[in-house]
Structure 1
Amino acid sequence: MYFLGAVYLTAYYQYFRLDAFSLGFGFAELAMQSLNLLTASAAIVLTAAVLTARHLATGEPVLGRGRVVRAVDRGIRAAARAHLYVVGAGVALLLLWPYIRPYEWSGPALLGIGVLLGQRGRAPDAVAPPGVWSKAVPVFTAGLLVMWALSLATGQLAEDEARETAANLPRRTAVVLLSTARLSLAGPGLTVEDLGSAARYRYRYTGLRRLIERNGRYYLLPVGWNSRTGPTYVIQDSEGIRVELLPGTQHR
């Protein structure tokens, strides 16, 4: 959970040109971020994958005597016998890596599944040679490949959600900066007002949206931000700056 949470936050904030580890996330926060991957469809796929992997690893028959259960069992065994084709498909997808975005994760996923299927792809009367190389190394390799696929899929999911955040930026919490001195801020949709020398906070900046706030630092985006040229501002809360948080623009 920590690993996938770190991958998720790294990819998400990298879209906004921020280093997630510089934001000071703790272990528990990183682990909790992995729950972003848990959807109904992901839970179903994960459950099916775990049950299938257990069946392949132990050779235990699938519980139940129904026609559908027997058909699924035969399908798993047929796939195990054809594991080299699965591995070949994974290698082909790796060679096509630049052309299959955003599905790069499918290559290592098929490789890992193929290696795991190969553990049950021998003839029924074949005797597995003893030792580490017959079981531990292939399973360990399959686990690494699956984790690679999960990290790629997690990074893609985080990047997609970052794009959605940028597309709906006006709806996020609006930030008004009041400063005693002029700040070097400029960006699409950002405006500055001079309230006069009589005001304690003379300069007022609007058109900003909060991305995150950590340890007294506000990470802000101008409302017209774009991924190519849009700046990301880091404002340290201090005596010369007052931060006001307001509702963002709500569309009905």
Structure 2
Amino acid sequence: MLFYFGWSRQAALTEYIGFPQAEWDTGTSGFLLDSVSAIFFPIVVGLLVLIGWRLVDPAVRRWYRATEPERLTSSWKRGIGLSTRALLLLSWLVVPAIAWLITHSAVDPGWWQLAEPASLAAGVLLAAYGVVLARHAETGSGPTWWSSPTWLLITGLTVALLFWTVHEFAVIEGHGEAAQFIQRFKDQPGITLYSHDDLRMVAPGIRVTRYASPGAYEFRYQGLHLFARSGGRLLLLPDGWTFDQPYVFVIREDDQVRIEYSR
């Protein structure tokens, strides 16, 4: 699972920059390390939600029993009590609808890819909690199906939705890191590449010099910056990299080329 989340983050990062993830060979350890940032925030949020639920659960149970319609004399209070119970049981539909409205009106619609699974998971959990509250208010105990196949189905659905949520968060993390890298990629070590053969490297910002005098290396390429070194290969970005022209060059380190680093 950690391997998958790390791979998802790296794949999103390399897609943003403009080359396939397979060119960046970080190995299993690299995927596992990348998964830390992808799962850390969701785990913290999940633990905070769990702690908050444990703190408010007794008060919610007392309120639920106190607002039972048959105990209320005022019609408007009974209406509020019934509406609250209905909304809680329909959370699996209400919460995603609210999340869709917020992401498409108040924030970037692109956040819907994360809000969709997260809101569905929250809605399913709230609806299940509503059933628990109703059963507890009626009998003083949890629902009889809590250890039945129904519980297993709810658990499986929730786990799947949470897995989907963490995957989408990993993708957003990857895109975010790529955007930050692009903002400062010209601060990365500069690369001057000498080659025996003409590498036909044509991209905005690359300067090519061909030496007339004899020597081991006939061509010089400047205006390159290092993205990563992986498996004996250099992943290079030109000075003129843009999102519309995402050139990335993969150069194998061998006797045919010479690399100079500069700052």
**1:72 to partner: Cα distance:** 6.3
In 1, the alpha carbon distance for the partners of 2:85 and 2:39 equals: 28
How many Å separate the matches in 2 of 1:240 and 1:90?
60
| 1:150 aligns to 2:159 (yes or no) | no
Alpha-carbon distance between aligned partners in 1 of 2:166 and 2:27, rounded to the nearest angstrom: 22
Q: Distance in 2 between matches of 1:75 and 1:25?
A: 49
TM-score of the superposed pair, with normalisation by structure 1: 0.79
Task: Say if 2:157 is the partner of 1:141.
Answer: yes
Q: 1:31 aligns to what SS in structure 2?
A: helix
> Which residue, out of 83, 89, 97, partners 1:92?
97
After superposition, the Cα gap between the structure-2 partners of 1:80 and 1:11, relative to the gap in structure 1 and judged at 3 Å, is farther
- Once residues 127 and 96 of structure 1 are traced to their aligned partners in structure 2, the CA distance between those partners, rounded to angstroms, is 33
3-state SS in 2 of match to 1:104: helix
Maintained 8 Å contact 1:5/1:31: yes
Structure 2: tracts of 5 or more residues without a match: 65-83
User: What do the CA deviations read for 1:173-229 (whole angstroms, capped 9, x no partner)?
Assistant: 211100112220111111112233223212111110111111111111101101212
For these two proteins, the number of residue pairs brought into alignment is 231
Partner of 2:72: none
Q: CA deviation at 1:47?
A: 2.3
Aligned to 2:237: 221
1:197 alignment partner, one of 182, 190, 213:
213
- Pair 1:88–1:48, CA change in 2 (3 A): same
Amino acid in the other structure paired with 1:89: V
CA-CA distance at 1:26 after TM superposition: 2.1
- Alpha-carbon shift at residue 246 of structure 1 (Å): 2.0
Q: Matched residues, percent identical?
A: 19
Structure with the higher helix share, 1 or 2: 2
Distance 1:31 1:246 in 2: 31
Match of 1:29 in 2: 30
2:97 counterpart letter in structure 1: A
Aligned partners of 1:75, 1:21: CA distance in 2, in Å? 51
Distance 2:164 2:85 in 1: 22
Aligned to 2:179: 163
Mapped to 2, the partners of 1:156 and 1:175 lie a distance apart of: 29
Q: Structure 1: where are the runs of 5+ without partners? A: 56-61, 63-68, 248-252
| Structure 1 residue 82, shift from structure 2 partner | 4.4
The alpha-carbon distance between structure 1 residues 172 and 132, as it changes in their structure 2 partners (threshold 3 A), is: farther
1:5 aligned partner = 6
Task: Report the aligned-residue RMSD.
Answer: 3.0
Structure 2 residue matching 1:101: 3-state secondary structure? helix
* TM-aligned CA distance change 1:150 to 1:81, over 3 Å: farther
Against the structure 1 CA distance between its residues 44 and 109, is the aligned structure 2 distance closer, same or farther, given a 3 Å change threshold? same
Aligned to 1:74: 59
CA distance in 2, matches of 1:80, 1:186: 65
Contact 2:192-2:260 at 8 Å conserved across structures: yes
In 2, Cα distance between the equivalents of 1:3 and 1:38?
11
CA distance in 2, matches of 1:200, 1:153: 49
Q: 2:257 aligns with which of 232, 241, 244?
A: 241
Separation in 1 of the partners of 2:204 and 2:60?
56
Deviation at 1:139, TM superposition (A): 1.0
- Is the 1:177–1:206 contact (alpha carbons within 8 Å) kept by the matching residues of 2? yes
User: For residue 193 of structure 2, what is the aligned residue in structure 1?
Assistant: 177
Q: Is the 8 A contact 2:197 2:256 kept in 1?
A: yes
- How much does 1:133 deviate? 2.6
In structure 2, which of residues 209, 224, 227 is the aligned counterpart of residue 211 of structure 1? 227
CA distance in 1, matches of 2:156, 2:211: 65
For 1:197 and 1:84, how far apart are their aligned partners in 2? 81
Superimposed CA distance per residue, residues 72-109 of structure 1 (whole angstroms, 9 cap, x where no aligned partner): 65359879984444322344368779942134211211
Aligned to 1:110: 119
